[in-house]
Amino acid sequence: MHSNLFESESNVRSYCRNFPVLLKTARNSVIQSSSGMEYIDFLAGAGSLNYGHNHPKLKSALLDYIGNDNITQSLDLYTEAKAAFIDTFVGTILAPRGLDYKLQFTGPTGTNAVEAALKLARLAKRRPTIGAFSNAFHGMSLGALAASGNADKRAGAGMPLGNVTFFPYDGYMGPNVDTVEYIERQLNDPSSGIAKPAAFIVETVQGEGGINIASFEWLRRLCAMARRNDILVIVDDIQAGCGRTGRFFSFEVAEIKPDIVCLSKSLGGYGLPLSLVLIAPELDIWKPGQHNGTFRGNNLGFVAATTALSFWSDETFKASLQQRVSQLHAWLESQVRRYGKERVRVRARGLIAGIEFHRDDIAAAVSAEAFERRVIVETCGARDQVLKFLPPLTIESDIFEEGLDRVAYAIDKIISKTGN
Amino acid sequence: MHSNLFESESNVRSYCRNFPVLLKTARNSVIQSSSGMEYIDFLAGAGSLNYGHNHPKLKSALLDYIGNDNITQSLDLYTEAKAAFIDTFVGTILAPRGLDYKLQFTGPTGTNAVEAALKLARLAKRRPTIGAFSNAFHGMSLGALAASGNADKRAGAGMPLGNVTFFPYDGYMGPNVDTVEYIERQLNDPSSGIAKPAAFIVETVQGEGGINIASFEWLRRLCAMARRNDILVIVDDIQAGCGRTGRFFSFEVAEIKPDIVCLSKSLGGYGLPLSLVLIAPELDIWKPGQHNGTFRGNNLGFVAATTALSFWSDETFKASLQQRVSQLHAWLESQVRRYGKERVRVRARGLIAGIEFHRDDIAAAVSAEAFERRVIVETCGARDQVLKFLPPLTIESDIFEEGLDRVAYAIDKIISKTGN
Amino acid sequence: MHSNLFESESNVRSYCRNFPVLLKTARNSVIQSSSGMEYIDFLAGAGSLNYGHNHPKLKSALLDYIGNDNITQSLDLYTEAKAAFIDTFVGTILAPRGLDYKLQFTGPTGTNAVEAALKLARLAKRRPTIGAFSNAFHGMSLGALAASGNADKRAGAGMPLGNVTFFPYDGYMGPNVDTVEYIERQLNDPSSGIAKPAAFIVETVQGEGGINIASFEWLRRLCAMARRNDILVIVDDIQAGCGRTGRFFSFEVAEIKPDIVCLSKSLGGYGLPLSLVLIAPELDIWKPGQHNGTFRGNNLGFVAATTALSFWSDETFKASLQQRVSQLHAWLESQVRRYGKERVRVRARGLIAGIEFHRDDIAAAVSAEAFERRVIVETCGARDQVLKFLPPLTIESDIFEEGLDRVAYAIDKIISKTGN
Amino acid sequence: MHSNLFESESNVRSYCRNFPVLLKTARNSVIQSSSGMEYIDFLAGAGSLNYGHNHPKLKSALLDYIGNDNITQSLDLYTEAKAAFIDTFVGTILAPRGLDYKLQFTGPTGTNAVEAALKLARLAKRRPTIGAFSNAFHGMSLGALAASGNADKRAGAGMPLGNVTFFPYDGYMGPNVDTVEYIERQLNDPSSGIAKPAAFIVETVQGEGGINIASFEWLRRLCAMARRNDILVIVDDIQAGCGRTGRFFSFEVAEIKPDIVCLSKSLGGYGLPLSLVLIAPELDIWKPGQHNGTFRGNNLGFVAATTALSFWSDETFKASLQQRVSQLHAWLESQVRRYGKERVRVRARGLIAGIEFHRDDIAAAVSAEAFERRVIVETCGARDQVLKFLPPLTIESDIFEEGLDRVAYAIDKIISKTGN
């Protein structure tokens, strides 16, 4: 360990505090440390490695591209790699779903995609306010942060964050309150003090917020209510998109059509920075250059992404993914059966899942214990109270089983310790 | 040209409007189009390609790294590639200059580095206001945009931007007004209405703003004034840093030591997304995870950056760079001699330079004419009135000469046309 | 009518549009027009004439004071009239209730008192956010307006209003949702996106908002929750205070002790501008002059107010007030009995009352019809859907009866017309 | 002295700290204390007593009005007193000057008039930003405070104040810099970061800010520049208006026509709260009730104001005022002659004047010494460094002379003490 070396890093570093190991190589769902230890990866780059580490097809495409001196950085100039990406994205993803979005390439971070989406929504509707949801996470730059719920992260701004109104997410007010109805009542009450937002920005599954899953019905009702009130809907599909929930877009099954969609994380396929904002054509009112970013033309990202997108027309890939989903869900249910719903609540959609325990401190202890057993599995939620599962979509069945076994062992150990 | 294909892109696209060509491959300062045309590149990825396109040493390091399945995306976990980068950055860049900054890796875009710097300054000083300068450009996310001067880009926010006060940059109030003195007078006047900022954020050379160059004396006086008033100084060295002005940091020659420095663009060496915030140790008050970003662990960026940093201990590289600087400056002077100071004003530091013509529309016309002659050279400034030179630091002498000749020809043609 | 003369007034004028008559003289609850018509006044200067028009005792005190050249305007210098007011307010109002508030005299408008209260709360807690309630009204200057719910009035600001979070008032989420519990859940959820406010500002009865009445239990629970969470409670008693609900303070019966109380409207007794902010001693952290206002020393207001305060130690006055309350409530009940709860919902506390009809347009029609019958009774609520009763506390029993009879007739006429 | 009684007041009290005396009666420019001491009043209610204390004509009108039970408080209903005021204001003030403003009565404080003006300007121009000036003072409610320069008072807000840009007032950048030109350069530079304001709000003489006097030329150039750039001009004539500078409006001599004018302070004549916003007819886009305020119908104010306005058609009154102006200016010049321009700088227009001494602490010491000699004369300026003269316009010549003699004595004593 170069521990003294890493002391040069700012105190802001975080994952490395919980998983203090020097990483060297990685293949699909397994990471090798510098000292030769092997870790099963249930973190997957916080959802940016849906296709695993260093997928051989993507690797091969990259080596080819670089080896032939193809252009690497091109701002928003036209390149062959970008053309191929657009062609594939439109052909493989949009067209089969009957979608006609315009594509905006932003600086290759999720927060930048969110910033672009929020700016465009405000511009289009000429209203400064955005509606966000309890427990939302959208990023760390000032605009995205203002729409994120976490109080510690908000405090990091060092100034008041405004022009965002927080509304209750599905289920936030308990099982008997329909939050869409409550929101609409506020919006239609001319004396509620609540400004009509330009847009709602919503995650179909709140990852950082604790694996809170909106029902398809709620999503449909939210969108219908938004339409009725001339409010746009932005789906932040940065973590839940790119197949994480079992389909390419997390909102497909809900049969909604957001006005704007933000993609990033696994879009670049190989863990390479790439972001994309999808815009309903009538909303594409940007002036040239009104939003930009130096690295919006990261061609290595285009190359890896193009290859990765092709998986979505591969039936084997999709069948395998469904098998992993079943494997995870079955295991989660086994945990509930074992400990009872009082101690273990599970929430899952596709390959994003969370376990919330009866005490807030258990998840972190399980994560630490699992790391001892060489599984990297993180926590999430406002109080880090949820154990969060984000395995690669491509994880090998047996390694998945092995990883889940180790986590089961860790849970067992920690719950035993807590004595109830 | 896949022109119909690119119509899928949002209207926000901009460079490709002025330089409509489909790019394929590139080596150092020359780009090849899909149809086999060759372009001399005086744009260099808006300053993100200081070491040219696809530098063979960096390429080789990348091919090795990828080929061996080294880890690509690692969030802020420890990796060997990151360790090597830190080691090299501290050893090659910081230590020889007597600097002891802490390193914060942010999401790999310049705007994200700026966002982190602004948040930290506000947190550290517990004051919400940032002081920015006329004609500044710091990025497109909400916090950075609020500190950027361009009215069109600001309008893109769709809401009022606050908590930033704009002050006049060096020379902004004419040659006879010392803007530092004016700023200090406002700050010391308890009734000026001007809040004391947490920090000034300043570019030593304003690239987007029109190649406005602060004198070293002004920078020193700004920093001294800031210290006297307990205000931090953030140098946004995203475009002017990484050697662009002839030394690694643009502020070295001025002998100032900013409290915070933002790096991005050419840091990643190969045009790969990478950003870094340098923080005076006593200001590193971040809580773990208080600012983050999925792609802050872009290991391909670390690998290329590490190799590129090694150039800064290579005397041949540095000597060659100075030669290019002389070459550019001599050419610029020849233009002034040719057209006179009334028609051509040049501003340059190192390999960043601008020509401002006697009429605002000339620069764009020259850029278009140069593109016809297969040189990519862009414009900048509030009214696109400045022709902007950002050649790779590594540009071959003869290609540089050839490119400058072509630009000279373009200037000649346009100025002839304007008839005066 | 000088109708052409009044055309010099801005379009902003409003009451005179609904009640277009030139007023001349007034005694207690009856106003005489220039042409000799007499109007029964159920508006009472929007609650600023609780002691009726030109009360003889107050009139006599004013004539004496003016006649003897006592000082009229004194900023915040000491005057005998101010001393007498303070003495009486402390002795008659505060001491008997065991209250030890400090007294801040602000510019003599309600909105200025609210501005002072909000500033002090933010300063004391070092938090920028204020919690306000759905349907709240606190005034028209920027700080107070930001805490007011009415969308049209908010739009008048011409800019986004921030640093206020709106919470649901008692009953806002229906009879089965405890809004205090919901608010506390949001505040205790570190990821709700809801900043902890410095203070809640609350009306015990929302006058402008539609005569919404918080239960005493809700007020107690709100205050207890605020204490638990280190949040201040400001009661805006500008309309509901000074006896309007039957006791001097509207919150007395609820047995809560707000941290800050705003008084204005009827405080000046004779309809004279006067405002007062009551501050828990430990919160009185103002620096000298940190909030001021030229007319905070309106001695005519002090003189009239001092005399008016003496009524609160007069048992006859208090008994008579209770009699009027009974008279009003009995009449309201008779209306419910007559039309049924489906068509007529009444809300009342003391001498502030509202009737909400089954259709939103009825209240305005009844108000117009009543004006034809020479009763001035206004509407309130987000859609002007509530008929609002604010008679002088001192209204003569027979005139009250006569006025109520006329309103009853007007209701009957309008409801008959609506055909259901 | 009821000193213990006044301890019930908030710490915010200020004038009474410097002038600790219990006041009882007052006539024109002399105030009598409770213990029979007589004070010459050079403070005049901070400019709200231009016609002196308890002017017999106004007193008589008030006694009549009250004695006959004329209506006192009328919201914005029509009353005979209001009709008479409008008639007189239009006839005596507006018409002779060729002005056609609409009249908006706001809550009767200066800050409320400013709030209304700022809201209307923002609404009319659909721009959120207001341009204010260094050392400005416009009031203490949030909107007006955001346009006021004083840092301590701004800090009282407890939150960042935004949507106002501060520009340099006439002379602020030294004698050689034309601040109007500098402001226009910033506004016309699309990259200055300075948003185009909806309006400039300006005092022709900055009272609280230290008696800074804009030249007529500067005011004309400011207005012309504003017109060129489609920016409104609001003159805050609250302190400098109502005759203070020698004419009714302070801007008359400059021959400018502001789009909006704010009046208060001496408008009510007798020190009674009254405010008025004058609006160019084409800007009167208010919706009914979009700005209001309970005490906008303070009829005692209308009655006193109407009588006071009649003075402005009385040649004796105007001649006497010019005589007082000459008396004050001659005395000020005598002070300069006596102490030299190094030690004593005087600034005066009409009967508002300031003396700035060579040391910042002298003004307060002179004020205290003058109070010992029974003259009430306050200080102003960012550091209380200016002795401020605001005598009643109606001050008797001999009492004025006596008061000035006493101040001269106090200056002499303090300057002698300082030893230079």
Rounded Cα distance between A353 and B197, Å, is 44
Buried b (16+ CB within 10 A) or exposed e, B207-243: bbbbbbbbebebbbbbbebbeeeebbbbbbbbbbbbb
Q: D278 contacts in C (CB within 8 Å)?
A: none
Residues of chain A with a CB closer than 8 angstroms to some CB in chain D: 159-160
Is D9 in contact with C103 (Cβ distance < 8 A)? yes
Both tokens assigned to D274 = 């009254």
Average pLDDT, integer, range B221-230: 98
CATH of the domain at A393: 3.90.1150.10
Is A141 in contact with B142 (Cβ distance < 8 A)? yes
Is C140 in contact with D115 (Cβ distance < 8 A)? yes
Please name the chains neighbouring A, where neighbouring means 3+ C-beta pairs under 8 angstroms: B, C, D
Phi, psi of B279 (to 5 degrees): -130, 125
D169 and D247 together in one domain: yes
Of the pLDDT bands very low, low, confident and very high (cuts 50, 70, 90), residue B420 is low
Residues of chain D with a CB closer than 8 angstroms to some CB in chain B: 128-129, 132-136, 147-152, 154, 160, 162-164, 166, 173, 176-177, 182, 186, 189-195, 209-210, 381-383
Domain boundary among B313, B339, B367: B313
Treating both helix axes as pointing N-terminal to C-terminal, what angle do D56-67 and D299-310 enclose, rounded to 10 degrees? 140
**C-beta separation of A78 from B2 below 8 A:** yes
Task: Give the number of C-alpha atoms closer than 13 A to the C-alpha of residue B404, restricted to the C-beta side.
Answer: 25
Q: What angle do CA A46, A47, A51 make, to 5 degrees?
A: 130
Domain boundary among C313, C340, C361: C313
Of the pLDDT bands very low, low, confident and very high (cuts 50, 70, 90), residue A176 is confident
Of the pLDDT bands very low, low, confident and very high (cuts 50, 70, 90), residue A308 is very high
Of the pLDDT bands very low, low, confident and very high (cuts 50, 70, 90), residue C3 is low
Please name the chains neighbouring D, where neighbouring means 3+ C-beta pairs under 8 angstroms: A, B, C
pLDDT of residue A148: 98
Residues of chain D with a CB closer than 8 angstroms to some CB in chain A: 159-160
**Rounded to whole angstroms, what are the CA distances from B175 to B185, C206, C366, D170?**
18, 61, 72, 21
**C-beta separation of A414 from A365 below 8 A:** yes
Distance from CA of A154 to the nearest CA of C (A): 8
Q: B152 contacts in D (CB within 8 Å)?
A: 190
Better-predicted residue by pLDDT, D7 or A302: A302
Please identify every stretch of chain D with a pLDDT value under 50, giving residue numbers as ranges. Answer: none
Please name the chains neighbouring C, where neighbouring means 3+ C-beta pairs under 8 angstroms: A, B, D
Query: Is the pLDDT at A268 greater than 60, yes or no?
Result: yes
B125 and B270 together in one domain: yes
Q: D149 contacts in B (CB within 8 Å)?
A: 189, 191-193
pLDDT of residue A209: 95
Q: A127 contacts in D (CB within 8 Å)?
A: none
- How many residue pairs from chains B and C have C-beta atoms closer than 8 A? 3
B39 and B63 together in one domain: no
First to last CA, chain A: 38
Distance from CA of C293 to the nearest CA of B (A): 18
Distance from CA of D346 to the nearest CA of B (A): 20
Average pLDDT, integer, range C335-352: 97
Q: Which of C147, C152, C193 sits opposite A136 (nearest CB)?
A: C193
Residue D150's domain spans which residues?
Answer: 59-313
Nearest CA in chain B to D169: B192
Best CA proximity match to C63, nearest among B95, B409, D72: D72
D238 and D338 together in one domain: no
Kindly state the percentage of chain A with pLDDT values over 70: 99
Query: Is the pLDDT at C108 greater than 80, yes or no?
Result: yes
User: Edge-to-edge strand order for the sheet containing A102-104?
Assistant: A102-104, A276-279, A260-263, A232-236, A199-202, A130-133, A164-167
Average pLDDT, integer, range C96-111: 98
Is D159 in contact with A160 (Cβ distance < 8 A)? yes
Rounded Cα distance between A163 and A147, Å, is 9
D120 and D163 together in one domain: yes
Rounded Cα distance between B167 and D7, Å, is 45
Q: D28 contacts in C (CB within 8 Å)?
A: none
Q: Is A37 left (phi over 0), alpha (psi -120 to 50) or beta?
A: beta
Distance from CA of C134 to the nearest CA of A (A): 4
Distance from CA of C166 to the nearest CA of B (A): 20
pLDDT of residue C177: 87
Q: B80 contacts in A (CB within 8 Å)?
A: 22-24, 34
Both tokens assigned to B391 = 């050649």
Q: What angle do CA B134, B140, B144 make, to 5 degrees?
A: 55
D210 and D221 together in one domain: yes
Is B191 in contact with D134 (Cβ distance < 8 A)? yes
Average pLDDT, integer, range A249-271: 98
Average pLDDT, integer, range B398-417: 97
D305 and D326 together in one domain: no
Nearest CA in chain A to C127: A160
Return the residue matching tokens 């109805």: A181
Query: Is the pLDDT at C69 greater than 90, yes or no?
Result: yes
Nearest CA in chain B to A128: B159
pLDDT of residue A24: 98
Average pLDDT, integer, range A396-400: 98
Kindly state the percentage of chain D with pLDDT values over 90: 96
Distance from CA of A273 to the nearest CA of B (A): 6
Nearest CA in chain D to A159: D160
Q: B2 contacts in A (CB within 8 Å)?
A: 78, 83, 86-87
Is C69 in contact with D63 (Cβ distance < 8 A)? no
Domain boundary among C253, C284, C313: C313
Of the pLDDT bands very low, low, confident and very high (cuts 50, 70, 90), residue C143 is very high
Amino acid identity at B201: I
A125 and A167 together in one domain: yes
DSSP-assigned beta bridge partners for residue D277: D104, D262
Is D195 in contact with B150 (Cβ distance < 8 A)? no
Between strands C260-263 and C352-357, the pairing is unpaired
Distance from CA of D127 to the nearest CA of A (A): 12
pLDDT tens, residue by residue, B102-137: 999 999 999 999 999 999 999 999 999 999 999 999
pLDDT tens, residue by residue, A105-132: 999 999 999 999 999 999 999 999 999 9
Is B109 in contact with A294 (Cβ distance < 8 A)? yes
Treating both helix axes as pointing N-terminal to C-terminal, what angle do B397-418 and B362-372 enclose, rounded to 10 degrees? 130
pLDDT of residue A419: 66
Average pLDDT, integer, range A389-417: 97
CATH of the domain at D306: 3.40.640.10
Q: Which of B48, B54, B144 sits opposite A69 (nearest CB)?
A: B54
D279 and D347 together in one domain: no
The number of distinct structural domains making up chain A is 2
**C-beta separation of D374 from D38 below 8 A:** yes
D332 and D271 together in one domain: no
Is A159 in contact with D159 (Cβ distance < 8 A)? no
B157 and B284 together in one domain: yes
pLDDT of residue B2: 60
pLDDT of residue D420: 55
Is B77 in contact with A19 (Cβ distance < 8 A)? yes
Of the pLDDT bands very low, low, confident and very high (cuts 50, 70, 90), residue C420 is low
Is A134 in contact with C160 (Cβ distance < 8 A)? no
Please name the chains neighbouring B, where neighbouring means 3+ C-beta pairs under 8 angstroms: A, C, D
pLDDT of residue D7: 87
- State the average pLDDT for chain D: 97
Is C26 in contact with D264 (Cβ distance < 8 A)? no
Q: Which of D129, D166, D192 sits opposite B194 (nearest CB)?
A: D166
Is B140 in contact with A291 (Cβ distance < 8 A)? yes
pLDDT tens, residue by residue, B18-49: 999 999 999 999 999 999 999 999 999 999 99
Is D190 in contact with B166 (Cβ distance < 8 A)? no
pLDDT tens, residue by residue, C162-189: 999 999 999 999 888 899 999 999 999 9
**C-beta separation of A118 from A201 below 8 A:** yes
- State the average pLDDT for chain B: 97
D324 and D289 together in one domain: no
Q: Which of A17, A115, A198 sits opposite B288 (nearest CB)?
A: A17
Q: Which of C136, C162, C192 sits opposite A163 (nearest CB)?
A: C162
Q: A159 contacts in D (CB within 8 Å)?
A: 160
Nearest CA in chain D to C27: D69
**C-beta separation of B260 from B120 below 8 A:** yes
Both tokens assigned to B383 = 């009214």
pLDDT of residue A177: 87
Kindly state the percentage of chain C with pLDDT values over 90: 96
Residues of chain B with a CB closer than 8 angstroms to some CB in chain C: 159-160
DSSP per-residue string spanning C185-211: HHHH-TTSS-PPPSEEEE-SEETTTTS
Please tell me whether the interface predicted TM-score (ipTM) of this complex is above 0.95. Answer: yes
Better-predicted residue by pLDDT, B199 or C7: B199
Distance from CA of C192 to the nearest CA of B (A): 17
Distance from CA of D122 to the nearest CA of C (A): 5
**C-beta separation of A263 from A89 below 8 A:** no
Distance from CA of B121 to the nearest CA of A (A): 8
